[in-house]
Amino acid sequence: MIEVKGLAKRFRLPKRAASTSDTTARDVREQDGWFHAVRDVSFSCAPGEVLGLLGPNGAGKTTTLRLLSTALTPDAGSIHAHGVDLLRDPLVARQRIGFLSGSTGLYGRLTARENVEYFGKLHGMRPDHLKRRCDELFALLGMNEYGNKRADQLSTGMKQKCAIARTVVHEPQIVILDEPTTGLDVMSAKILLDFIASYKALRVPLIFSTHHLHEVEKVCDRVCIVNHGATAFHGTVDQLRHLGGSADLYDAFVGVIHRGA
């Protein structure tokens, strides 16, 4: 179980932006020379659940995920996973979390397999265990045909799948993916969504952000909608439809966003 309560993170605005007199053009999160990217985000994700993190562009989703991964330190709030305070012990958090950021973070001169093996070694995996795990992931993600190809020669979709493999190679207890299907074709996206769904059987909480609501319908048990840096909704997909006033998930999402506008 991962529980997030009252997360907040602000960034100092450049002087020019902070001193502008055109208040009508300002984001509501700009206050007193600060941009409050995340103001009050709370949600939970239980073992075996997939949580979809949704919101308009610039809503604070990526900042929220970076806070969960300990890449950023929040100004307020708490993050607990399996009874551990991740903010007090970020090293333990990084051992337990698999985090895919918006960039693939691959080394271009290494092959796809070498990249995944490298990250496994960083996590202290034994050679025999690492080999079995790489074999498993490359088969699950359909990567065997280009495992020996250099990363700088891979397509965008191939790089993304390689990045996902290195994210979960150490079998993390929590998986966090920031828009994982970006750059994937239809077939590759289906492989990845099936891969995400498989984590339910492993009893691993998985959180991923997306703009594609059909992905939410396919794999998500719960949804958290972030708008203007705060949680606008947290519940099941059916509860989202009810609150948004539509059986169509896209219309329901827009309805929730407009309620909080």
Query: What CATH number does residue 210 fall under?
Result: 3.40.50.300
Domain count, the chain: 1
What secondary structure letter does DSSP report for 6?
E
More confident residue, 185 or 104: 185
pLDDT grade, residue 105 (50/70/90)?
A: confident
Sequence-distant (≥ 6) Cβ neighbours of residue 72 within 8 angstroms = 9, 63, 66
pLDDT > 90 in the chain, percent: 79
The whole-number pLDDT of residue 220 equals 96
What's this model's pTM, rounded to 2 decimal places? 0.90
The yes-or-no verdict on residue 127 having pLDDT over 70 is yes
Pairing of strands 2-12, 206-209: unpaired
pLDDT per residue as tens digits for the range 62-101: 999 999 999 999 999 999 988 889 899 888 888 889 999 8
Among 123, 94, 104, 102, residue whose Cα is nearest residue 161: 104
Paired strand residues for 195: none
Average pLDDT value for residue range 222-233: 97
pLDDT grade, residue 103 (50/70/90)?
A: confident
The helix, strand and coil proportions of the chain, stated in percent and rounded to the nearest 5, come to 40, 25, 35
The yes-or-no verdict on residue 42 having pLDDT over 90 is yes
Task: Give residue 64's domain range.
Answer: 2-259
Buried b (16+ CB within 10 A) or exposed e, 135-148: eebbebbbbeebbe
- C-alpha distances out from residue 207 to 2, 21, 138, Å: 10, 39, 22
